[in-house]
Amino acid sequence: MKGVSGIKIKILLKQHVGAPCKTTVKIGQEIKKGELIAEPEGLGANIHSSVYGIVVDINDAIVIEMADDQPKYFMPIADTSCNIEAVKEAGVVGAGGAGFPTHVKLNAKLNDGYVLVNTAECEPILKHNIKLIEEKPELLIRGLKYAMEMTKAKKAYIAIKPNHKKAIIILGKAIKFEQNIEIKFLPNMYPAGDERVVIRETLGVELEPGQLPNAVNAVVFNVETLKNVALAIEERRPVIAKDVTVGGRIKGDVDGKVFLNAPIGMPVDHYVNLAGGLEKNSGEIVIGGPFTGIAGHENSPITKTTGGVLVGMVFPNDNRKFGILACECGAQEDRLTEIVDGMGGTVVAAEKCKRMVEVNGRYRCDKPGECPGQTETVLKLKKAGAEAIIVGTCED
Ligand code: SF4
């Protein structure tokens, strides 16, 4: 390596469900793009370097100072005996936000079941999945066919909202000669991207809260996850980049800009600046979508599950007493409390949508997208002293 650039990236050791990975590199070590730098202990996924550089720190992340020279070449994943092993070796996880290791899902034997592609990209502003479909439909279809082959599925449905007309036409052409792949429509509502909604709309089966897709002989994959499956198998490419949408209070932008293949570990402000930079009077940076995103900051690193980088408005000053109404598919109590704190208010009571039921210690929505009126809950919050109510629910 000739020299270092002074630019540091931060590759988190936890980018998936399960415990943080264990690093396989040391401080001071020179590393190449694509090199394995951390391995899971139990459920998880391999992590690889997205750049050439030198390891300068290891804490909850591996901090790498980038080399001046960044060749396109990446180290391919180790040799494997089958496609599932290649997906595992490449560290593919659910790119839609869940971060579940993809090789575990692909191990399901569906015996004539279904692979479902979730293209809902439900939250406002986000559009990188649809952009990928429009630009590289064949990559998605190849990833899907590998997934069908590995799981022995007989049929695949691509679930998409009817308002994505251009993507639907492009997909239609891409599957023209595919006997076992069909397009199915999702309702134009939030949260159509919930797995249980995708199953309800494609297979006509209503899963119980907490029930998994394998109960109906199906697996559900996000668009970018299938892209990464194809790249792992065909190019031996580890997951070292992420597709993201940057939007909100960005100069000159109202609609969100897509960056395909942003190196994992890059600070998000790099992409905020590339998109146009911050507008005057901009507020917090939210990582994720407007409904379910979490507060981040300019140095938050891109991870395998980062979808949106959204710049919010400055919180208005409002020091009233607030009631909180959370939704399983939207903002939860923690996030709503953060917003109230940001405004200078006080939380006096918190309630959940009445459709949220507790399953194995976690609240889940009983019927995602079939949202009830919330009058009773609102009255309860008022009775508890709330002067204003902040809702994470997607319907009023
Ligand atoms: S029913 Fe309630 S918890 Fe479920 S999506 Fe609608 S508002 Fe959210």
Residue 147 belongs to what domain range?
83-234
Query: Same domain, yes or no, for 274 and 230?
Result: no
Query: Same domain, yes or no, for 260 and 369?
Result: no
Per-residue model confidence as pLDDT tens digits over 229-243: 999 999 999 999 999
Per-residue model confidence as pLDDT tens digits over 137-181: 999 999 999 999 999 999 999 999 999 999 999 999 999 999 999
Ligand 1 atom with minimal separation from the 352 CA? 3
Residue 182 bridge partners (DSSP): 157
Residue 73 domain-assigned (yes or no): no
Neighbours of 14 (CB within 10 A): 17
Query: Same domain, yes or no, for 305 and 213?
Result: no
> What's the 329 CA to ligand 1 centre distance in angstroms?
6
> What's the 14 CA to ligand 1 centre distance in angstroms?
29
Mutate to test the pocket of ligand 1, among 207, 208, 329 (most ligand atoms within 8 A of CB): 329
Ligand 1 atom with minimal separation from the 394 CA? 7
| Protein residue with its CA nearest to atom 5 in ligand 1 | 368
In angstroms, the CA 287 to CA 272 distance is 12
Per-residue model confidence as pLDDT tens digits over 287-312: 999 888 999 999 999 999 999 999 99
Query: Same domain, yes or no, for 386 and 249?
Result: no
Question: Is the pLDDT at 61 greater than 60, yes or no?
Answer: yes
Per-residue model confidence as pLDDT tens digits over 76-128: 999 999 999 999 999 999 999 889 999 999 999 898 899 999 999 888 899 99
| Protein residue with its CA nearest to atom 7 in ligand 1 | 393
Residue 386's Cα: distance from chain center in Å? 34
Ligand 1 atom with minimal separation from the 372 CA? 1
Ligand 1 atom with minimal separation from the 354 CA? 2
Q: Strand, helix or coil at 132?
A: helix
Query: Same domain, yes or no, for 55 and 192?
Result: no
| Protein residue with its CA nearest to atom 6 in ligand 1 | 371
Question: Is the pLDDT at 212 greater than 60, yes or no?
Answer: yes
Query: Same domain, yes or no, for 97 and 217?
Result: yes
In angstroms, the CA 323 to CA 392 distance is 11
Question: Is the pLDDT at 330 greater than 90, yes or no?
Answer: no
Tell me how far CA of residue 105 lies from CA of 273, 310, 333, 337, in angstroms. Answer: 37, 30, 30, 35
CATH number for the domain including 135?
3.40.50.11540
The upper half-sphere exposure of residue 126, i.e. CA atoms within 13 Å in the direction of its Cβ, equals 24
Per-residue model confidence as pLDDT tens digits over 338-377: 999 999 999 999 999 888 888 888 888 888 878 888 889 9
> What's the 120 CA to ligand 1 centre distance in angstroms?
17
Q: What's the total number of domains in the chain?
A: 4
> What's the 155 CA to ligand 1 centre distance in angstroms?
30
What pLDDT is attached to residue 254?
A: 66
Residue 353 domain-assigned (yes or no): yes
> What's the 380 CA to ligand 1 centre distance in angstroms?
18
> What's the 396 CA to ligand 1 centre distance in angstroms?
10
In angstroms, the CA 51 to CA 1 distance is 12
Query: Same domain, yes or no, for 44 and 141?
Result: no
Last residue of a domain, one of 234, 265, 298: 234
Confidence bin at 209 (pLDDT 50/70/90): confident
Query: Same domain, yes or no, for 141 and 20?
Result: no
Residue 396 domain-assigned (yes or no): no
Query: Same domain, yes or no, for 149 and 273?
Result: no
Burial of 333 (0-12, 13-18, 19+ CB in 10 A): middle
> What's the 372 CA to ligand 1 centre distance in angstroms?
7
Query: Same domain, yes or no, for 197 and 90?
Result: yes
Residue 77 domain-assigned (yes or no): no
Residue 101 domain-assigned (yes or no): yes
- Poorest-pLDDT segment among 64-78, 244-258, 268-282, 305-319: 244-258
| Protein residue with its CA nearest to atom 1 in ligand 1 | 371
Residue 74 domain-assigned (yes or no): no
What share of the chain has pLDDT > 90, as a percent?
A: 78
Residue 72 domain-assigned (yes or no): no
CATH number for the domain including 13?
2.40.50
Query: Same domain, yes or no, for 186 and 88?
Result: yes
User: In terms of Cα–Cα distance, which of 196, 392, 365, 224 is closest to 294?
Assistant: 392
281: left (phi over 0), alpha (psi -120 to 50) or beta: left
Give the mean pLDDT of 195-222. Answer: 93
Ligand 1 atom with minimal separation from the 190 CA? 5
Last residue of a domain, one of 313, 336, 358: 313
Residue 134 domain-assigned (yes or no): yes
**Could you tell me which residues come within 8 angstroms of residue 3 by beta carbon, excluding any fewer than 6 positions away?**
67, 68, 69
Confidence bin at 395 (pLDDT 50/70/90): low
Last residue of a domain, one of 276, 294, 313: 313
How does the average pLDDT of the chain come out, rounded? 93
Q: Are 193 and 291 in contact (CB under 8 A)?
A: no
Query: Same domain, yes or no, for 88 and 40?
Result: no
Q: Which residues line ligand 1 (CB under 6 A)?
A: 191, 327-330, 353, 355-356, 365, 367-369, 371, 393-395
What pLDDT is attached to residue 170?
A: 98
Mutate to test the pocket of ligand 1, among 352, 363, 394 (most ligand atoms within 8 A of CB): 394
Confidence bin at 190 (pLDDT 50/70/90): confident
Confidence bin at 193 (pLDDT 50/70/90): confident
